[in-house]
Amino acid sequence: MAATPAPRSVDDVLELLRSRGGRVTSSRRVLLAALFEGGPHRTAEELAAEVQAQLADVHLSTVYRNLDELERLGVLVHSHLGHGPATYHLASETHGHLVCEQCGATLEVPEELFAALVRAARTAYGFVVDARHFAVVGRCAACAALPAGAPASAAGTSEPEPSGGP
């Protein structure tokens, strides 16, 4: 059974927070509003900027601490997409990410795209894939169509052929 039913509104989370002995502060309220209203997978810095638009004094470290706590409460998850900073999103918005390593575009895809992988991992290794926390790297349609020595990546990466090697 889930110890913490996924909260679906700012007030839900604040209540959960209070019930765990936490305090409801303005920075948390605004951060949660940003999380619930804004787009998916934003970085700590982006979220801090949104919070600071309304509460200029909120420090980045406070945002980190709040994100950390919200993750501990099960409200958020964060993913490391390729290189850059981690991105945060609500635990209720579970989806996978396809991240283009050439242009950096992030594509949200439904969990069902990973169904076969999830099944295969469990069958072959007993490994239970966490679909919420998921980032798959590769090249998006646009970049894949470009020749190998494409623009975004300075590296003239020659294509390693994935064809049938044992």
Least distance CB 49 / a second copy (angstroms):
23
In the region spanning residues 22 to 61, those forming contacts with DNA, defined by CB under 7 A, are: 22-28, 43-45, 55, 57-61
Partner whose footprint covers residue 134, from a second copy, DNA, none (CB < 5 to 8 Å by kind): a second copy
Instruction: State whether residue 113 is helix, strand or coil.
Output: helix
Q: Of residues 36, 40, 62, 113, which one binds DNA by CB under 7 A?
A: 62
Instruction: State whether residue 64 is helix, strand or coil.
Output: helix
Partner whose footprint covers residue 160, from DNA, a second copy, none (CB < 5 to 8 Å by kind): a second copy
Helix (H), strand (E) at residue 92: none
Cβ 60 vs Cβ 45: under 8 Å: yes
Partner whose footprint covers residue 48, from DNA, a second copy, none (CB < 5 to 8 Å by kind): none
Distance in angstroms (rounded) separating the CA atoms of residues 85 and 122: 29
Contact window for DNA (CB under 7 A) among 2-10, 14-22, 109-117, 126-134: 14-22
Sequence length of the chain is: 166
What are the residues binding a second copy (CB under 8 A)? 1-4, 6, 68, 71-72, 74, 80, 82-83, 91, 94, 98, 100-101, 107, 109, 111, 113-114, 116-117, 120-121, 124-130, 133-141, 144-145, 148-149, 153, 155-162
Tokens for 37?
């209203």
Cβ 132 vs Cβ 114: under 8 Å: no
Partner whose footprint covers residue 72, from DNA, a second copy, none (CB < 5 to 8 Å by kind): a second copy
DSSP labels for 6-55? Answer: PP-SHHHHHHHHHHTT----HHHHHHHHHHHHS-SSEEHHHHHHHHHTT-
Partner whose footprint covers residue 117, from DNA, a second copy, none (CB < 5 to 8 Å by kind): a second copy
Helix (H), strand (E) at residue 79: strand 76-79
Q: Based on CB atoms, which residue is closest to a second copy, 57 or 123?
A: 123
